[in-house]
Amino acid sequence: MPDTTRRPFRGGSRVLLHPSRAEVFSNDAAISWVGRVAACLRSCSCLFFLGLGLGIFTASSRPVAAKVSAQRFEYSLPRMGTIFRIEMYAASDVDASKAAEAAFSRAEELEQIMSDYRADSELMLLMRDGATAPFPVSSDLYSVLAKSLWVSRLSRGAFDVSIGPLVDLWRNARKSGRLPDPEEIAKAKALVDYRNIELDPVHHTVFLKRAGMKLDLGAIGKGYAADQMLAVLQSQGIHQTMVVAGGEVVTGEPPPGSSGWRVRIDSADSDAGVAPCTLLLSAHAVSTSGDEHQFLEVNGHRYSHIINPRTGWALEGKSSTTVIARDSATADALATAFSTMSVSDGIRVAQSLPGVSALWVRRVGGEWKYYTSRGFPASCHGLPEGSQ
């Protein structure tokens, strides 16, 4: 997640509905390792949105094929420091805007729980008091931490939600343009260990076994929010819908007359001029992790915003990892986890999980290499032959 995502959201949530401003997104979602905000900025709708100023809820709608009565609606709003977007087909603009409003207020509720910028967020309170005694948490914070620990165990610590102290160090390094001091890295690393987070499923409490631990939901929070927004939309009777939370994409039923939502994957190779691949997605989520546009470059080395918790060092070089899963929190967390694991370990984990498949784009010996786990859609392959 780029640093921009860490800024507190200061915009309001006034709802402004207005007629269509042309076919701004045409069912396409782009998820980009280059930076989710950057992906948003590339789209005209986002520019239009930014032109209106932060905090204004934009909507566009236009009828689809004459045969079907549902119309397409689209809404976007800043949440969690990035742009969240909903596309949907609904019978009327009243139904559509009511559902979108409910979904966005759910996202706002989750931001207040998971933010590490708002001093009064539930996550911040947990970090303040959770090392003194078991701290009772909401079911949302409990669920997102439980899923985080599940991915930590699956990845043997390659994903670690207690990565906060190292994230702070590397964020400062990006700001100053200087690598962190190895001693500071060692000190921060000593505080990072997901096994020191104790969840009590009976009392719904979290206990941090080491004082000074810092939790960071940057690799899973937006995915969790996307899932929750989709659930709200579905509970409001909107089923043909797609939620894009920054770069996290989750889809419900496909648009009328189509077998899925078109989602473009901008992976590391597309930055180098290789055509990006497009997925057709329904009832699934997809996430891409990799180098961000706010990487650190020192002495010709390029350091990512993703950190290897075992060494304390940011990942080096260009790469990207795309994960498809049945829900967005899983796709989001696994994409980060697979980024720091070896490709073969990642393939083993992906293939052990129902509904999960992944694509690894790596630079090896000056060439792009592609690896996929079983089940990754062949249709997506702008990939060279025999890349499996």
**Interacting residues toward ligand AMP by CB under 6 A:** 1, 159-161, 163, 167, 216, 218-219, 289, 305-307, 309, 332, 335-336, 340
How far is the C-alpha of 129 from the C-alpha of 235, rounded, in Å? 35
Residue closer to ligand AMP by CB (options 101, 271) is 271
Asked if 320 interacts with Mg ion (CB under 5 A), we say no
Q: What does the radius of gyration of the chain's CA atoms come to, in whole angstroms? A: 20
Q: From Mg ion, ligand AMP, none, which one binds at residue 306 (CB under 5 to 8 Å depending on kind)? A: ligand AMP
DSSP character at residue 212: T
How far is the C-alpha of 221 from the C-alpha of 362, rounded, in Å? 26
Please, what is the Cα angle at 33 between 99 and 338, to 5 degrees?
Answer: 95
Asked if 288 interacts with Mg ion (CB under 5 A), we say no
Residue closer to Mg ion by CB (options 100, 268) is 268
Residue closer to ligand AMP by CB (options 18, 301) is 301
Q: Where are the alpha helices (DSSP H) in 139-219?
A: 139-154, 164-176, 182-189
Given a contact cutoff of 8 angstroms between Cβ atoms, the answer to whether 23 and 4 are in contact is no
Choice from 154, 219, 229, 359 touching Mg ion (CB under 5 A): 219
Given a contact cutoff of 8 angstroms between Cβ atoms, the answer to whether 247 and 288 are in contact is yes
**3-class secondary-structure state, position 144:** helix
Please state at what angle helix 93-114 crosses helix 221-235, rounded to 10 degrees. Answer: 150
How far is the C-alpha of 270 from the C-alpha of 136, rounded, in Å? 45
Q: How far is the CB of 240 from Mg ion (least distance, A)?
A: 26
Residue closer to Mg ion by CB (options 103, 285) is 285
Query: Per the structure block, which two tokens stand in for 54?
Result: 């932060």
How far is the C-alpha of 187 from the C-alpha of 201, rounded, in Å? 31
The alpha carbon dihedral of 317, 321, 327, 333 has a sign of negative
Residue closer to ligand AMP by CB (options 151, 232) is 151
CB-based contacts of 376: which residues, under 8 Å, 6+ apart?
Answer: 324, 357, 358, 359
Given a contact cutoff of 8 angstroms between Cβ atoms, the answer to whether 321 and 298 are in contact is no
**3-class secondary-structure state, position 31:** strand
Q: From ligand AMP, Mg ion, none, which one binds at residue 340 (CB under 5 to 8 Å depending on kind)? A: ligand AMP
Q: From ligand AMP, Mg ion, none, which one binds at residue 101 (CB under 5 to 8 Å depending on kind)? A: none
How far is the C-alpha of 37 from the C-alpha of 270, rounded, in Å? 17
Q: How far is the CB of 358 from ligand AMP (least distance, A)?
A: 13
Residues numbered 88-107 forming contacts with Mg ion, rule: CB under 5 A: none
Q: How far is the CB of 212 from ligand AMP (least distance, A)?
A: 18
How far is the C-alpha of 166 from the C-alpha of 151, rounded, in Å? 19
Asked if 373 interacts with Mg ion (CB under 5 A), we say no
Q: Measuring CA to CA, which residue among 364, 298, 355, 362 is closest to residue 328? A: 355
Choice from 162, 304, 336, 339 touching Mg ion (CB under 5 A): 336
Q: From ligand AMP, Mg ion, none, which one binds at residue 288 (CB under 5 to 8 Å depending on kind)? A: none
Asked if 227 interacts with Mg ion (CB under 5 A), we say no
Per-residue binder mask for Mg ion (CB under 5 A), 161-200, x = binder: ----------------------------------------
Q: How far is the CB of 333 from ligand AMP (least distance, A)?
A: 8
Q: From ligand AMP, Mg ion, none, which one binds at residue 255 (CB under 5 to 8 Å depending on kind)? A: none
How far is the C-alpha of 163 from the C-alpha of 307, rounded, in Å? 8
Residue closer to ligand AMP by CB (options 32, 236) is 32
Asked if 332 interacts with Mg ion (CB under 5 A), we say yes
Residue closer to Mg ion by CB (options 113, 163) is 163
Q: How far is the CB of 70 from Mg ion (least distance, A)?
A: 32
Q: How far is the CB of 337 from Mg ion (least distance, A)?
A: 8
Residue closer to Mg ion by CB (options 56, 225) is 225
Query: Per the structure block, which two tokens stand in for 329?
Result: 């929190």
Q: From ligand AMP, Mg ion, none, which one binds at residue 307 (CB under 5 to 8 Å depending on kind)? A: ligand AMP
Residue closer to ligand AMP by CB (options 214, 284) is 214
Q: Which residues of this chain interact with Mg ion, rule CB under 5 A?
A: 219, 332, 335-336
